[in-house]
Amino acid sequence: MELASQARRKRLKVVRMVAAYDDLTDELQRSCVRLGQDLVFCPQDYQDTYYFHIENPSTSKFYRISYPEYVFVSQFDGKTSYAKAFAISAQTLGQEALTESKAEELIFWLLKNQLATLADHSVDFQTASASQSVPWYQNLNPFWIKLPFGDPTKIFRWLEPRTRWMTSSVAIGLGVLLILLGLVFGIQNFELIYRSSASVIAPQNLAFSLIIWCLLKILHELAHGIACLKHGGSVRDCGLILVLFAPMAYVDVSSSWRFKSRWKRIGVAAAGMYAELLVASMCLFLWFLTPSAILKQQLVNVIVLAGVTTVLFNANPLMRFDGYYLLSDLLKIPNLFASGSEAFREQMRWVFLGLKSNRNCVEIRNHKSVILLYGYLAAAWKIFICVGLSIAAASLFHGLGIVIAIVGVVSWVVKPIQRIVETLLHTQKTRPHAVVRTVGISICLLITILTAWLMVPNPFSANCPCIVDFQDGLKIRSESFGFVSELHVRDGERVEKGDPILTITNPELQTELVELKSELEIHQTRERIAIESGDPNAAQLAYADCVATKNLLDGKRDELRHVTLIAPREGKIIIPRIGELVGKFIQKGEQVATINDDVAKEIRLSISPDQVDFLPGLEGKKITVVFGSRRRISAELVRLNPKASQHIDEEKLIAPNGGSLAVHESSPDQNGGASFKLVDPQVIAIAVPHSDDAKSLFAGERGYANLESSSLTLGEFAVQCFDDWLTRQINYNRQF
């Protein structure tokens, strides 16, 4: 009964809405329209075509109309009838005047957006426009939650005079120069910064990254507001936008749309990115100058958050952020996003329903290809963002994240699906054959997707860090203990058999030799006295002491002979930390060097367990390895350690040493220095390059290995990824 009642109310609402429109249409000829008294009209020039921006101060909203539309609506003073205004505009503009249907649509649009009222009509138009309100479910979208804080005018009026020197031409010119220099410097050191950037999202850095992110976004929006006030605009609202619960500040600088100079509008739109890029450039130069490894890492975090994220998000013209308004003004295409979206929908209606567009506005005619291309790209970006945020929600919030992802997707797709269904139902009544076309095209498209899903090989690959090492070189160990007094070779130098490597000095060993010689003489004297006195037992004990002492003396003399280490074979010698070796105390048996064959080299790969699971059958496969800007080489993956570990196998691959593997500090080592463990466990794999390529590689050289798998189709790969992800979520939730 309740459902039936709701259905009757909905039908009654629709009937009332239609009746309201019919009443307005029937009496429109004799109706008088009155524009809002506080509306502000501002002319704008786009590609030698005039438009007018309408500002409604009471709602802080802006609208745009063409010049013929402005000529028509400018006569609505509450005394001029619709028919008279239409006749005057037709006489004034001639062929450029609005058609009767366009004029009626414009009247409805003005009333719907509360920009005008009917001076002599009793119909409440709010009933007719009720369907235009934002659906309640769209306000519950967890992917995008807007929290307004109110009018920040006082704050910006206090800041603007105190920051005026920062917005001067000289200061901005120097700032742009610093950003350009930082860009050049960043490109030169891109590889090192990229490797260090892995720790930005490391668990131990999340709190720091979140604080820096919030401060940067506040600075970003303050720059927008100050730039807007400088050119005579106003800031009426500010607040937070939670993108998947990640805070992003915002300020309403839409008053800049009334600026006649598009370069002023561009300046306001670019102010936030300018501020963040300036911070990134300054941190980049500090990163180069500071000797502290910890400070370097934190500066890299700021550089990534202030520089990379600004370019990827704020400068992205496919989102209605700074980059969009910059592109719209540079191309002189107002309402680019709305025009592109409508052009994309019309293209889809033409493809699936065979319906041609009836729009003929100036910007569509002059920029049809650009607007349509933008519409396609914006639609693809919407899908990408929706899928990306869904995956991020499910990964970050685990079981609850799955619910958040479902709610977010539903709140985004309900309205488009509703619009599609309404279009199909309407088309079925007027053009039934068009629905048949839609079904046929949809089936063909579905078959194409399934074919690609089930037959196309998996195109995805994994990049993992790697380092060059020698294959099982001959380890040189000290045969004595003492201090290294002299090095006879250099690291990486080729040695021949019998060449001296290093010399050890041990004053304690010399003292022990003297003491053992004195002790031996005492035992020999005791033995002689015992023999002369005829005491065989004492003589036998003294003889045993002499033998033991002599053996000890021979051992010490042997150690003394080995204070200079000799190369047992030819090859290239590798001495780790050679700069710290002279003067260092080494124990007996401690490894001090390795002699390797120049050709016998291997590449040690650090692979995450997920990559091993997603790319099966790696052993025995050919892989591609890239070393910086050098040429690519091919290597065969010969061995894969099945057990993942957080132990650091290669120190050069971790972030503090310029690598890409994120680490966290563990208990200090024996010398009191910092000790690290990998944040994520890694699997070690060994690949062997061709002998010709091995000669051109240097031990300790870092690179990236590209792992590809052709054993899975695209669909099988996606299903396996989803299955593994779902299993991890279930296992995680079982722990609580």
pLDDT in tens, 119-129: 654 444 443 34
The Cα 527–Cα 353 span in angstroms is 119
Which residue's entry shows tokens 């466990």?
681
What is the arrangement of strands in the sheet containing 564-566, beginning at the earlier edge strand? 564-566, 500-505, 482-487, 585-586
Please name which of 451, 460, 462, 457 lies closest in space to residue 711, comparing C-alpha atoms: 457
Higher pLDDT, 606 or 473: 606
Mean pLDDT (whole number) for 317-329? 85
pLDDT at 239: 84
Q: How far is Cα 650 from Cα 678, in angstroms, rounded to an integer?
A: 11
Reported as a single tens digit per residue, the pLDDT across 456-515 is 766 666 778 888 887 766 777 777 777 777 777 887 787 888 788 887 777 677 677 777
For position 32, what pLDDT does the model report? 79
Query: In this predicted model, what pLDDT tens digit does every residue of 346-381 receive, in sequence order?
Result: 888 888 887 776 555 545 556 778 888 888 898 888
The dihedrals phi and psi of 557, each to the nearest 5 degrees, come to -65, -35
- Rounded to the nearest 5°, which phi and psi values hold at 481? -110, 155
For CA atoms 266, 269, 275, 280, the dihedral sign is negative
Residue 524 CA to residue 539 CA, distance in Å, equals 9
Dump pLDDT digits (tens) for 690-700.
Answer: 877 787 787 77
Cα(406)–Cα(393) distance, integer angstroms: 10
Q: Are 478 and 588 in contact (CB under 8 A)?
A: yes
Helix, strand, or coil here: 625?
Answer: strand
- C-alpha 415/C-alpha 425 separation (Å) is 15
CA angle (498, 504, 506) in 5-degree steps: 140
Q: Which residue has the higher pLDDT, 398 or 331?
A: 331
- Residues of the chain with pLDDT > 70, as a percent, come to 77
The SS3 call for residue 329 is helix
Q: What band does 680 get if pLDDT is binned at 50, 70 and 90?
A: confident
> Which pLDDT value is given to residue 1?
38
- When computed from its CA atoms, the radius of gyration of the chain, rounded to whole angstroms, is 39
Whether 665 and 674 have beta carbons less than 8 Å apart is answered as: yes
Whether residue 181 has pLDDT greater than 80: yes
624 SS3 class: strand
Cβ atoms of 553 and 522 within 8 Å: the answer is no
The predicted pLDDT at position 723 comes to 62
Distance between CA atoms of residues 427 and 4, nearest Å: 27
Which tokens hold the place of 385?
A: 């963002």
Confidence at residue 29, expressed as pLDDT on a 0 to 100 scale: 62
- Answer for the pair 649, 596: CB distance below 8 angstroms, yes or no: no
pLDDT the model gives residue 398: 61
Instruction: Tell me the three state secondary structure of residue 76.
Output: coil
Higher pLDDT, 392 or 292: 292
pLDDT at 736 over 50: no
Sheet holding 32-35, edge to edge: 77-81, 32-35, 116-118
Query: By C-alpha distance, which of 69, 105, 109, 106 is closest to 89?
Result: 69
The amino acid at 304? V
pLDDT at 314 over 80: yes
For 215-226, how does the pLDDT look when each residue is reduced to its tens digit (9 = 90+)? 888 888 899 889
Q: Is 497 exposed, middle or buried (0-12, 13-18, 19+ CB in 10 A)?
A: exposed
